[in-house]
């Protein structure tokens, strides 16, 4: 049973990484793919901790860190849209400060 869950986790994780790599022009799509990767890791850690009868307190810390990462990413997205008008990375010019 653990092998089925491990293969499902690997599939979900690879789909998230592929989405992160292929949709890197917009910040919102990269943030969504990062959250998908975090959810797949959460799923795998939950299965492992339940299978080996460990406490689930570590998952609360992991969810706390993922929420902080999501809030930080959304604040960067809002500030980027306010200054540049879009979340498209092509509008940036490296010469400007």
Q: State residue 71's pLDDT score.
A: 93
Q: State residue 24's pLDDT score.
A: 76
**SS3 assignment, position 7:** helix
64: left (phi over 0), alpha (psi -120 to 50) or beta: alpha
Q: Does residue 97 lie within any of the structural domains?
A: no
Q: Does residue 43 lie within any of the structural domains?
A: yes
| 88, β-bridge pairs | 26
Q: Does residue 91 lie within any of the structural domains?
A: no
The tally of domains found in the chain comes to 1
Q: State residue 18's pLDDT score.
A: 94
- Residue by residue, DSSP assigns 38-88 as HHHHHHHHHHHHHHTT--SHHHHHHHHHHHHHHHHHHHHHHHHHHHHSSSB
Q: Does residue 77 lie within any of the structural domains?
A: yes
Angle at 56 between CA 53 and CA 62, to 5 degrees: 135
Q: Does residue 90 lie within any of the structural domains?
A: no
Structure tokens at 61: 């810390």
pLDDT in tens, 36-95: 999 999 999 999 999 888 888 889 999 999 999 999 989 988 988 888 777 776 666 655
CATH assignment at residue 65? 1.10.287.3510
């Amino acid at each position: 049973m653990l092998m089925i869950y491990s293969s499902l986790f690997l599939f979900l994780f690879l789909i998230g990484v592929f989405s992160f790599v292929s949709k890197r022009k917009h910040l919102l799509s990269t943030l969504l793919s990062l959250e998908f990767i975090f959810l797949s890791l959460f799923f795998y850690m939950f299965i492992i901790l339940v299978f080996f009868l460990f406490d689930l307190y570590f998952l609360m810390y992991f969810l706390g860190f993922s929420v902080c990462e999501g809030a930080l990413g959304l604040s960067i997205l809002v500030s980027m849209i306010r200054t540049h008008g879009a979340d498209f990375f092509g509008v940036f010019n490296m010469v400007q400060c």
